A and B are shown apart, each in its own frame.
Chain A
Amino acid sequence: MGIIKALKLGFNYLKYDDDGKVEETRRAIDDVNLDIEAGEFIAILGHNGSGKSTLAKHMNALLTPTEGALWVEGINTKEEPELWKIRQKAGMVFQNPDNQIIASVVEEDVGFGPENMGVPTQKIWARVGEALGKTGMSTYHAHSPNRLSGGQKQRVAIAGIMAMRPKCIILDEPTAMLDPIGRREVLEAVEELRRSEGVTVILITHYMEEVIRADRVYVMDSGRIVMTGTPREIFSQVDTLRHYRLDVPQVTLLAYELKKAGVNVPDGILTMDELVNALLPETPEKAFTAESITTSAPDETAAAVNMTAERRD
């Protein structure tokens, strides 16, 4: 069994009237089956209201299923005595960094989780130091969190989760409020944790570029999982994604548009390197770098490129 497993998971939000009777039932999750292996990097995409945050909240037992069941490392989240165990195994980072930082000094904030768990003081400091190091925030250990940028605050929040040594970290749109550099910082911190600690990562995001390094992508719509696959498999289906109100990374869209216009590029291009190489294939001599353009042309294509380059100058 994987680290997170869901079987026929269903969840209803109930709305009560003034007398406490159920007035309205809204199905937020419908028949979801999951099997996430330890160490995997999973991305969940879906439009606003598709059920992805509700699903995420099931993964550390903030919500429990109306139907079906979800297991975190074999523990059923419906078993209430196990709640704290589950939350130590699966930590959650939310969208707004200001909502999850509580202490007035960075290192105390990071130490809050392990302290709550009853970790001995010396070990807490060791864990705090390690978590701040892994998220690149060591220099700020004695700073006040309110003086940090959004990206730095999110990294403190991630460090706070890491200090609890979870098996799994769930990030619910952690970069929605950040500028490009802040986004990169947070993703690099997450990547580092996965590499060094083997932590399972579940990333919910609206930024398609953040998904390309995932092992698997789930796309949600109306509470159901409607697409599953590698980023390449998912992003080759531009039209289906648009139907689900989603997008593809700009480079993928450009490749798709070029292909529609008759250029020979493969489906599901994910990175700039892939597109550049598809458009201008490298010769064995790697002849097309700017330095080598002036040297003798190895074949016709290079000659053409060579000429184009000259004309440009």
Chain B
Amino acid sequence: MALELKDVAYTYSPGTAYEIHALRDINLTVPEDQFIGIIGHIGSGKSTLIQLFNALIRPTSGNVLCDGEDIWGDSYDRRALRSKVGLVFQYPEHQLFENDVLSDVCFGPMNQGKTREEAEVEAKKALRSVGFPEKYYSRSPFELSGGQKKRAAIAGVLAMNPGILILDEPTAGLDPKGRDDILGQIAQLREERGITIVLVSHSMEDIARYADRLIVMNKGRIVYDDSPREVFTHYQELETMGLAAPQVTYILHRLKEKGLAVDTTQDTVPGARDTILEALHAAGTQKEGRADV
């Protein structure tokens, strides 16, 4: 499935003194099988944007299309859409409510009309794919650690078999290993199930590592929509928007300023390592070749 936003604008409290233009001129397509990162300063409109994706809010103007159909058309089944576009909120642990983890994850598929047995099949599949340990299935979700709560909540959305999975800062407050584990599993979901992932994050390092497309929001508009490597070349502009590039981007630019011919578009540690090694090697070779200068 693919989503398309055409000339979308969203205004909070239109026509009143509290009118806020949260989004303007939004045109974008969310195709199948992509890992999309969204970054933006607080108040840039990114949370409003993801709420448009699964029809939680209706655009003030413009259209949201799912596979070519306007989701705000009279006969459109928006309920069905919401289970196809799964949204995991910033505090996924706030989405938990059942007595035990398995029932919690079963809630979504049962709401879709499945029996408890069928729902359990989906639930177990979802829990397995986020790496949730089986021994905790019957635990109360409120007794879990932060990382496990987040996994249970993600599984709850995943059990509905969405075509698009939207995650708003899913790793805030997790330790580095927990963060890498969860993001790794999300990336794997995309590989295994072809689900499109939309990840809202403050971590440029995580975006650089996992996303193949990066959307940058500022003051309600899309300012960049490109590969992370391309976007991070605008690191100075990003800073004026309260954002930044990954640390390696800055290192590579510094090295280049000082004369080392590195590829500054590399945005991950392995990429940076390789280009530095190459550049050092090239510089070393030339040094020998030009020893007579």
- Complex: A297 Cα to B259 Cα, angstroms: 13
Contact A47 B259 (CB under 8 A): no
Q: Considering the complex, give the chain B residue whose CB is closest to the CB of A275.
A: B251
Which B residues are in CB contact (< 8 Å) with A309?
259, 261
Contact B277 A258 (CB under 8 A): yes
- Complex: A276 Cα to B261 Cα, angstroms: 13
Which A residues are in CB contact (< 8 Å) with B270?
257
B101 to chain A, nearest CB (A): 17
B293: contacting residue among A49, A246, A247, A300, CB under 8 A: A300
Contact A261 B273 (CB under 8 A): yes
Q: Considering the complex, give the chain A residue whose CB is closest to the CB of B205.
A: A250
Contact B254 A177 (CB under 8 A): no
Which B residues are in CB contact (< 8 Å) with A290?
257-259
With A246-B176, A308-B260 as known contacts, state yes or no: A279 contacts B280, CB within 8 Å: yes
Which A residues are in CB contact (< 8 Å) with B246?
250
Where chain A touches its partner, the secondary structure class is helix
Q: Is A173 an interface residue (CB 8 A)?
A: yes
Q: Is A227 an interface residue (CB 8 A)?
A: no
With A179-B242, A179-B243, A276-B254 as known contacts, state yes or no: A300 contacts B291, CB within 8 Å: yes
Which A residues are in CB contact (< 8 Å) with B284?
304
Contact A208 B176 (CB under 8 A): yes
> What 1/0 flags go to A241-277 for Cβ under 8 Å of B?
0100111011101100110010100000000100110
Q: Is A75 an interface residue (CB 8 A)?
A: no
Contact A150 B42 (CB under 8 A): yes
Q: Is A78 an interface residue (CB 8 A)?
A: no
A268 to chain B, nearest CB (A): 16
Contact A276 B293 (CB under 8 A): no
- Complex: A247 Cα to B177 Cα, angstroms: 8
> What 1/0 flags go to B247-280 for Cβ under 8 Å of A?
1101100111111110000000110110011011
With A206-B175, A280-B255 as known contacts, state yes or no: A272 contacts B250, CB within 8 Å: yes
Contact A246 B258 (CB under 8 A): no
Which A residues are in CB contact (< 8 Å) with B146?
48
Contact B260 A279 (CB under 8 A): yes
A278 to chain B, nearest CB (A): 11
- The CB with the most chain A CB atoms within 10 A, among B145, B255, B258, is that of B258
- Contacting B at CB under 8 A, from A23-73, are 46-50
> What 1/0 flags go to B143-169 for Cβ under 8 Å of A?
001110000000000000000000001
Q: Considering the complex, give the chain A residue whose CB is closest to the CB of B201.
A: A179
> What 1/0 flags go to A269-313 for Cβ under 8 Å of B?
000100110011000000011100100010011011111110110
Contact A280 B261 (CB under 8 A): no
Q: Considering the complex, give the chain A residue whose CB is closest to the CB of B274.
A: A261
Which A residues are in CB contact (< 8 Å) with B283?
304-305, 308
> What 1/0 flags go to B115-151 for Cβ under 8 Å of A?
0000000000000000000000000000001110000
- Contacting B at CB under 8 A, from A129-154, are 149-150
> What 1/0 flags go to B204-246 for Cβ under 8 Å of A?
1100000000000000000000000000000000000011101
Q: Is B22 an interface residue (CB 8 A)?
A: no
Q: Is B173 an interface residue (CB 8 A)?
A: yes
Q: Is A178 an interface residue (CB 8 A)?
A: yes
Which A residues are in CB contact (< 8 Å) with B255?
276, 279-280
- The CB with the most chain B CB atoms within 10 A, among A173, A254, A258, is that of A254
A263 to chain B, nearest CB (A): 6
A122 to chain B, nearest CB (A): 36
Contact B290 A258 (CB under 8 A): no
With A46-B175, A179-B243, A303-B293 as known contacts, state yes or no: A257 contacts B269, CB within 8 Å: yes
Q: Considering the complex, give the chain A residue whose CB is closest to the CB of B241.
A: A181
Q: Is B41 an interface residue (CB 8 A)?
A: yes
Which B residues are in CB contact (< 8 Å) with A47?
175-178
Which B residues are in CB contact (< 8 Å) with A276?
251, 254-255, 258
B259: contacting residue among A50, A254, A305, CB under 8 A: A305
5 new A-B contacts, CB < 8 A, other than A180-B244, A288-B259, A308-B260, are: A250-B247, A254-B251, A263-B280, A272-B247, A311-B261
The 8 A-B pairs of least Cβ separation, nearest first, read A245-B177, A247-B176, A304-B287, A47-B175, A305-B259, A250-B247, A181-B242, A257-B273
Q: Give the A-binding residues of B (Cβ under 8 A).
A: 41-43, 145-147, 169, 172-179, 202, 204-205, 242-244, 246-248, 250-251, 254-261, 269-270, 272-273, 276-277, 279-280, 282-284, 286-287, 290-291, 293
Can you list 13 A-B pairs with a CB-CB distance of less than 8 A?
A48-B146, A48-B147, A176-B173, A177-B169, A180-B243, A246-B176, A247-B177, A249-B247, A250-B205, A258-B273, A290-B258, A307-B286, A308-B279
